[in-house]
Amino acid sequence: MTETTRFSFRISALIILQLWLMFASASPANRVWIVRRDVQNLVEATTELDQPKEQKVENALPRIYFMEIVSDIRLRYASTKVTSKVANPADKAQEATFHVVLPDTAFISSFLMEIDGKVYKASVKEKEEAQTDYQNAVDAGLSAAQVTANARDANQFTVSVNVEPQAKMLFNLTYEELLTRRRGIYEQAIHVSPGSIIPQMSVRVNIFETLPINKITVPQLRGNDIEQNQDLSENEVAKIIRTNETVVSVVYEPTETQQIQSSKDGLQGQFVVQYDVDRSSIERKGGEIHVVDGYFVHFFAPTTLPALPKHVIFVLDTSGSMAGTRIEQTKQAMNSILDQLREDDLFSVVEFSTGVSEWDLRKPYKALETYYYNIPVGDTTEVPQNRTELEESFGLYDDIFAYPVTERSIKRAKEFV
C-alpha cells in the first residue's frame, strides 16, 4: 500500500468516525452525562442507556451538603449556632428530617429557615395548630418546618423540613447554655450526628474570657452512651488557635475520608472542648464579678475547702421495663459512680421491682434481706399519708445500713451489679 493510499484511508476513516459521532450525539438515548461522586471527590463520565435522567432525579433523596456549627463562649456562657444546607434534586417535594441533640441544660433561642433568599423565622404555636399548619404546607408542596420535643428526653428535638422540588434551603438552629465548672474544668459537649457523610463539615468553638486561659484540651469524639474507659487522647484533627491569653479558638474540619473512618453514617458522638482560667489574680478578691445589661454574675472557685463526706443511696429499678439496654446502662453507670466515691463517704443500695429491698453486702452472695414492702402484682394498695401508718402497713424501717467506702465494699457492690 502506497503512502497516498494510506493517507486516503486515514482521511476516510476520520470522516466516517466524525459522521458516526454526529449521528450518535443526535440520539437522546446515547447522551453522555457527567456525574459527580461527592464521597470520593471525583468526576467520571457515564452513559445512561437504560434509564432516562428524569427517573433518576425523581428517586434522589434530599441530602445535607453543608453543616457548620459555631459556638461562642463568653464568660462561660455558650451560644451555639447549627447551620445546615439541604438540596432536593428530585422533581417532587420531599421531607427531610433532622435529629438535633442538645445539652441537658440548654434551651433553643432561635430557629430560622432560608428559602430562595427569603428568611422565615419560627413561631411558637399549640401542638394541634402547629401540626395542622405544617401538614397543609406539606400537602401543598411548600417548604415548611416543624420542631417537636420528646417528652421523655427533653433535650432531643426533631426538625421536619419539606423541601420543594429541585430546591436548596438552609436551616439555622441556635441554642444557649451556661457552662458549669466540674472537676476543675469547664466543658462544652456539642453533639455531632448528622446521619451521613457531609462534603463540607466544620465545628468551631470561640472562647472569650477576661482571665488568662491556662488550660484547654480537645479529646477524641466521645460516644453518646456511658463509657467506663473514655479515650482521653488529643483529637489530632482539631486545631487550637490562640489569639492571645484570653481568646482561644478550636477548629474541627474533618474530611469526608475522616468522617467515613468514624462510621459509614459519618460522625456520631460529642465534640468536647475543656478549658479553665487562671484565678491567681483574683483569689484574694473574693472571686470575679461582671455587670452586663443591668445583670451581674459572680464567679468564685475556692480551692482550699475540703470535700464534704457524703452518704450516697443508690435506688435501682430492676423491673421488667428495664430489660435490655436500660439495665446494661444502669450497670455501667453504677460501676462508674462507685469508682468515684471517696474513702470518707458512705453508701447504700436499694433495689425495687414489685417490691423494695436493700442489698446486704456483708453476705458472700447477693442477699436482699430487708424488705420494706412487697405488693403482689395486680393488687391495688392505697399508700398511707403519715409515717405511723407507713410503718404499720409496710414495715418501713427508720434507717438503712450504710457501708463505708473500702476496697472490699466497693468490690462486693460491683459483684452484686
Under 8 Å CB-to-CB from 138, ≥6 apart: which residues?
93, 95, 144, 162
What is d(CA 340, CA 162) in angstroms, rounded to the nearest whole number? Answer: 47
Mean pLDDT by 10 residues, the chain (417 residues): 46 41 38 31 31 52 89 94 89 79 86 82 70 78 62 62 82 90 91 88 95 93 62 84 95 92 84 92 81 84 82 88 88 90 89 79 60 44 49 53 86 82
For 222, phi then psi, to 5°, come to -100, 135
Quote the pLDDT of residue 90.
Answer: 87
Quote the pLDDT of residue 63.
Answer: 85
* Residue range 63-277, CATH number: 2.60.40
Task: Specify the amino acid at residue 172.
Answer: N
Instruction: Find out whether 149 and 157 touch, Cβ atoms under 8 Å.
Output: yes
For 237, phi then psi, to 5°, come to -80, -30
- 311-416, superfamily in CATH? von Willebrand factor, type A domain (3.40.50.410)
Quote the pLDDT of residue 29.
Answer: 36
Which residues lie across from 147 on neighbouring strands?
159
Quote the pLDDT of residue 31.
Answer: 32
Q: How far is CA 68 from CA 49, 171, 320, in A?
A: 39, 11, 42
Parse the chain into domains and list their residue ranges. 3-56, 63-277, 311-416
What is d(CA 395, CA 355) in angstroms, rounded to the nearest whole number? Answer: 12
Q: CA 73, 97, 90 angle in degrees (round to 5)?
A: 125
Quote the pLDDT of residue 19.
Answer: 37
The dihedral over CA atoms of 28, 34, 38, 43, expressed in degrees to the nearest 10, equals 150
Q: How far is CA 20 from CA 25, 152, 363, 397, in A?
A: 8, 67, 92, 97
Q: How far is CA 42 from CA 39, 153, 254, in A?
A: 8, 41, 18
Rounded to two decimals, the pTM is 0.61
Quote the pLDDT of residue 253.
Answer: 94
Pick the closest to residue 374 from 348, 351, 343, 340 (CA basis): 351
